[in-house]
Structure 1
Amino acid sequence: MSTTSQLAKRFREVLLDGKWIANTNFKEQLSDITWEQATTKIDSLNTIAMLTFHIDYYIAGLVNVFEGGDLEIRDKYSFDLPVIDSQEQWAAILGKLWKDSERFATLLEQMPDSKMNEVFVDEKYGTYLRNINGMIEHCYYHLGQITLIKKMILFKLK
């Protein structure tokens, strides 16, 4: 199996369908969350909706680069979640995350392994491999947060 295929598999595991590392994934954790739960604020923690938006913001930004565009994302905008006040709005955010995640994985699978050692946009960002591994690690980091916040919300509601 090529390096890019292995990376795409790892990416799909954390976002869409895996159980290997965390015994869960974003899709599983978010599938039964209501918009009210997603926007519930607990102390100074980010909301589940904010973390979901944040992850998709970066995935979509990398997809843009993979498709030949510029790196347009900026950290300062990565938590600029629009107001959510309905299940439909929450479903749209989730739908965008699933679509962008699958697009990311598909584009990654189509890359030649040799691309992994190329500079990603600018030398200061390192290689494609570094950035893709960083994205996977970033997703697991926030998946852990979402899982804990979800448990806090569900415990608080009981």
Structure 2
Amino acid sequence: MSSTSQLAKRFREVLLDGLWIANTNFKDQLSNVNMEEATAKIGSLNTIAMLTFHIDYYIAGLIHVFEGGELEIRDQYSFDLPPLESEEQWENLKSKLWNDAERFAILLEQMPDSKMNEVFVDEKYGTYLRNIDGMIEHCYYHLGQITLIKKLLN
């Protein structure tokens, strides 16, 4: 199996269908969360909806680069979730995450292994491999937060 296929598998595990590292994934954790729970505020913690938006923001930004675009995402905007006013909006946010996650994995699978050692956008960001590994780690970090927030809500 190529390196890019292995990375795509790891990425899908944390977002869509895996149980290996955390015994859960984003899709599993968010499947039974309604809008009220997703937007519930606990102290100074981010809401589940904000964390969902945040992860998708970065995934969508990297997809744009993978498809030949510029790196347009900025940390300062990564939590700028517009207010959710309906269950449909919450479901749409989750659907966007699932679709973007699968698109990310497909694009990753299509990359040659040699791309992993190339500079990602600018030397200050390191290589493609560093950024993809970072995305997977970032997802696990926030998956843990979502899992804990769900426990606090219940």
User: Would the TM-score normalized by the shorter structure come out above 0.5?
Assistant: yes
Matched residues in 2 for 1:64 and 1:19: separation? 28
Q: 1:89-104, aligned counterparts within 5 Å?
A: 89-104=89-104
CA deviation profile, 1:27-56 (whole Å, cap 9, x unmatched): 000000000000000000000000000000
SS at match of 2:81: coil
Structure 2 counterpart of 1:81: 81
Structure-2 residue corresponding to 1:8: 8
CA-based RMSD of the aligned residues comes to 0.3
Structure-2 residue corresponding to 1:138 = 138
- Tell me the TM-score normalised to structure 1 length: 0.97
Shift of 1:91: 0.4
> Deviations along 1:33-84, whole A, 9 cap, x unmatched?
0000000000000000000000000000000000000000000000000100
Percent of pairs identical after alignment?
A: 81
Equivalent position amino acid for 1:20 in 2: W
Deviating runs (4+, > 3 A) in structure 1? none
Q: Which amino acid aligns with 2:60?
A: A
Question: What displacement does 1:103 show?
Answer: 0.2
State the distance in 1 between where 2:153 and 2:85 align.
18
Provide the C-alpha distance between the structure 1 equivalents of 2:87 and 2:39, rounded to a whole number of angstroms: 11
Please, which runs of 5 or more residues in structure 1 have no aligned partner?
none
Q: Distance in 1 between matches of 2:73 and 2:100?
A: 15
Where do 5+ consecutive residues of structure 2 fail to align?
none
Question: How far does residue 85 in structure 1 lie from its aligned partner after superposition?
Answer: 1.5
CA distance in 2, matches of 1:131, 1:25: 20
C-alpha distance in structure 1 between counterparts of 2:93 and 2:62, whole Å? 17
Separation (CA, whole Å) in 2 of partners of 1:153 and 1:39: 11
Under a length normalisation based on structure 2, what TM-score does the superposition of the two structures give?
Answer: 1.00
